């Protein structure tokens, strides 16, 4: 499960995907499969969540990792590189950005 705490020694990655309503479910299915089959089993994975906006034009993904190197190693695998190519075909753009928690309310 994700840990939202300033003191937590974790790496948070927030990725936003932009797509059309016509490809939203396909993209959500691809992301769900990636997490269930591959990503969640990688070293350092803590947890993740997928969020879809009402218009089905954006998906926000929140994931946490023990270390940034764990996330980067997962991205470099052949399987994830192939999955990211397929994911890219389903959306206009996506961008993963690493964050650290600076405040919790």
- State the average pLDDT over residues 15-39: 97
Q: What is the pLDDT of residues 70-80, one digit of tens each?
A: 999 999 999 99
CA distance 31 to 45: 15
The 45-52 sheet, strands edge to edge: 45-52, 58-65, 11-18, 93-99
CA distance 44 to 70: 5
Q: How far is CA 72 from the centre of its chain?
A: 12
pLDDT score, position 51: 97
pLDDT score, position 4: 82
Q: Structural domain boundaries of the chain?
A: 11-99
pTM of the model: 0.91
Token pair for residue 23?
Answer: 């490809």
Token pair for residue 30?
Answer: 């691809």
Q: What is the CATH number of domain 11-99?
A: 3.30.70.100
């Amino acid at each position: 499960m994700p840990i939202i705490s300033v003191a937590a020694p974790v790496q948070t990655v927030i990725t936003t995907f932009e797509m059309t309503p016509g490809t939203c479910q396909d993209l959500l299915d691809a992301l769900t499969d990636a997490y269930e089959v591959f990503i969640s089993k990688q070293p350092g994975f803590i947890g993740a969540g997928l969020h879809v906006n009402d218009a089905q034009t954006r998906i926000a993904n929140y994931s946490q990792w023990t270390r940034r190197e764990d996330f980067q190693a997962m991205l470099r695998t052949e399987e994830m590189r192939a999955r990211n190519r397929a994911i890219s075909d389903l959306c206009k753009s996506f961008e993963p950005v690493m964050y650290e928690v600076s405040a919790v309310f």
